[in-house]
């Protein structure tokens, strides 16, 4: 028997599901939301649920209409997601994701005599929808906001922005967005059509929710390459659960705490690293700082990335583009979504010619070997295609050593250097 739905119901998805590749038709979207609404945080398994026709917006009467719905149910039984595999046990996302196809539904049974659909999710997607407090890599949203949306593309874009709500913006390449929305290259081949059918329509629908946005286009040779979504801050609080992993603070308190973190001097006071102190001052919880410390020790990113994130979030806070800086700092570090930009900025600095004022001029290109490996481990979509199945050693040989770079030890650190 179904529990009565709460007016303030909060629903949750793993971030890997938010970024998976799939597309709905409207009836499938509404059935998905109806089943999502029936999941509780403490659930450990999926159950079959009866969903009335009226809840999925199906009010037509007549044989042909019911036949259409029956066909939709039949197609849902073979509906698949192209989604990241999660790390066993922790359910965290991998540094170099492997994708696989998973069926969304276990059963979808049209029951015309009862006036609804009996359905349940596939047990294989339980790690993406159940017991998500354990993984910490999830996003919540208010069901009332989601039900304002009519277009499946608008729903997908809502979740993509909701994941980055604390940061205030999200940049996606056109290729990435097409991938996530499962839009083929031959569909909306002209960007003007893609903009009208997808972006403008989603912007119009999300304007009535807690995720209104504007967007900017980044072009190269007059061709759109990236879309920067700017989430408009509203007076309404974000409808997301505050967990131990993301203990957020109010903007006024955060501003006072974060304003001085433009650059962290990496010295220790009473045995506590300065970067550790700065994160705590910014409102990041002790538990979250411990997780960041483990990532630093594992070499997932260099210490300079912490500086980069603190400076970026501080700047955005002053511009009024970040509402919850502690959450934005935490997500930028743990999810590493600014890491590619940081590494690119460091590469530009490292490859700047060094002019030595001596008898002769020496030009040198140098970069830490660890940062080259970071770029290999976290490739963008284009670099990922270029890398293919090659190992880091093969990648290093092909792109650097074959081009005249050598490995040198400098102050105990390995550098790639080309004179």
- SS3 labels along 61-112: CCHHHHHHHHHHHHHHCCCEEEEECECCCCCCECCCCCEEEEECEEEEEEEC
119, 323, 341, 415 from 379: Cα distances, Å = 38, 29, 11, 20
Q: Indicate the length of the chain as a whole number.
A: 419
CATH number of the 148-234 domain: 1.10.10.10
Q: Report the distance separating Cα 337 and Cα 314, nearest Å.
A: 16
**What pLDDT is recorded for position 297?**
78
pLDDT of residue 5: 60
**Percentage of the chain modeled with pLDDT above 70:** 78
Per the model's pLDDT, the better-predicted residue between 313 and 130 turns out to be: 130
Under a CB-based contact definition with an 8 Å cutoff, are residues 377 and 95 in contact? yes
Q: Where does residue 319 rank: exposed (0-12), middle (13-18), buried (19+ CB within 10 A)?
A: exposed
Over residues 164-206, the pLDDT tens digits come to 888 888 999 999 999 999 998 889 989 999 999 999 999 999 9
Q: What is the DSSP letter of 33?
A: H
Specify the higher pLDDT residue, 399 or 230: 230
User: CATH for 1-146, among 1.10.10.10, 1.10.760.10, 3.40.30.10, 1.50.10.20?
Assistant: 1.10.10.10
- Would you say the CATH fold of 148-234 matches that of 1-146? yes
CA 151 – CA 258 distance, rounded (Å): 39
Beta strands in 86-192 (DSSP E): 99-103, 105-111, 116-121, 138-142, 169-173
- The pLDDT value recorded for residue 175 is 92
Helix (H) or strand (E) holding 255: helix 251-258
Region 110-136 average pLDDT: 89
In the chain, where the domains are located: 1-146, 148-234, 244-337, 343-418
Paired with 111 in beta bridges are 116
Residues forming a β-bridge with 93 = 86
Q: Is the pLDDT of residue 259 over 60?
A: no
Q: Which residue has the higher pLDDT, 322 or 91?
A: 91
| ∠ CA 266-272-275, rounded to 5° | 40
Work out the mean pLDDT of the chain and round it to a whole number.
Answer: 79
Asked whether the predicted pLDDT for residue 77 surpasses 90, the reply is: no
Look at strands 116-121 and 138-142 and give their pairing.
unpaired
Query: d(Cα 96, Cα 117) in Å, to the nearest integer?
Result: 39
Maximum Cα interatomic distance, the chain, rounded to a whole number of Å: 93
Pick from 129, 184, 120: nearest CA to 17: 129
Q: What is the pLDDT of residues 38-66, one digit of tens each?
A: 998 889 999 999 999 888 877 655 556 67
Among candidate residues 82, 95, 94, 162, the one with its CA nearest the CA of residue 125: 82
| Tokens 């974060």 -> residue | 258
pLDDT class for 362, splitting at 50, 70, 90? Answer: very low
Structural tokens at position 229: 């979504």
* Mean pLDDT value of segment 331-351: 74
Predicted confidence (pLDDT) at residue 20 exceeds the cutoff of 90: yes
DSSP single-letter state for residue 197:
I
- Helical ranges in 224-285 per DSSP H: 251-258, 274-281
Q: How far apart are the first and last CA of the chain?
A: 73
Q: Regarding predicted confidence, which is higher, 318 or 21?
A: 21
């Amino acid at each position: 028997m179904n529990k009565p739905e709460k007016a303030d119901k909060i629903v949750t998805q793993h971030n890997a599901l938010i970024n998976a590749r799939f597309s709905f038709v409207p009836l499938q979207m509404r059935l998905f939301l109806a089943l999502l609404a029936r999941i509780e945080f403490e659930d450990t398994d999926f159950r079959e649920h009866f969903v009335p026709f009226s809840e999925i917006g199906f009010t037509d009467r007549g044989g042909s209409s019911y036949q259409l719905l029956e066909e939709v149910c039949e197609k849902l039984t073979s509906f698949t997601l192209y989604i990241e595999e999660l790390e066993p046990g922790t359910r965290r996302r991998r540094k170099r994701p492997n994708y696989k196809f998973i069926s969304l539904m276990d059963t979808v049974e049209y029951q015309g005599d009862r006036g609804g659909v009996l359905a349940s999710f596939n047990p294989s997607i339980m790690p993406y929808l159940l017991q998500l407090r354990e993984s910490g890599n999830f996003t919540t949203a208010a069901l009332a906001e989601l039900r304002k949306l009519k277009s499946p593309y608008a729903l997908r874009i809502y979740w993509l922005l909701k994941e980055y709500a604390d940061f205030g913006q999200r940049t996606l390449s056109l290729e990435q967005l097409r991938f996530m929305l499962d839009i083929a290259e031959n569909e909306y081949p002209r960007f003007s059509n893609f903009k009208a059918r997808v972006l403008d329509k989603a912007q119009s629908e999300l304007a009535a929710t807690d995720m209104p946005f504007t967007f900017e286009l980044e072009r190269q040779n007059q061709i759109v390459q990236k879309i920067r979504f700017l989430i408009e801050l509203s007076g309404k609080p974000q409808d997301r659960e505050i967990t131990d992993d993301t203990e957020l603070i109010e903007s006024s308190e955060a501003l006072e705490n974060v304003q001085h973190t433009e650059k962290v001097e990496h010295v220790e006071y009473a045995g506590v690293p300065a970067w550790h102190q700065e994160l705590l001052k910014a409102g990041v919880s002790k538990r979250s700082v411990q997780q960041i410390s483990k990532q630093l020790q594992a070499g997932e990113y260099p210490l300079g990335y912490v500086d980069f994130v603190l400076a970026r979030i501080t700047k955005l806070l002053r511009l009024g583009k970040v509402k919850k800086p502690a959450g934005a700092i935490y997500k930028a570090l743990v999810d590493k979504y600014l890491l590619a930009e940081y590494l690119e900025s460091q590469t530009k600095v490292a490859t700047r010619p060094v002019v030595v004022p001596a008898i002769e001029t020496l030009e040198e290109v140098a970069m830490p070997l660890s940062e080259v490996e970071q770029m290999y481990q976290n490739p963008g979509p284009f670099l990922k295609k270029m890398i293919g199945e090659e190992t880091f050693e093969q990648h290093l040989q092909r792109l650097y050593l074959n081009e005249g770079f050598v490995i040198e030890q400098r102050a105990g650190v390995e550098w790639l250097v080309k004179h």
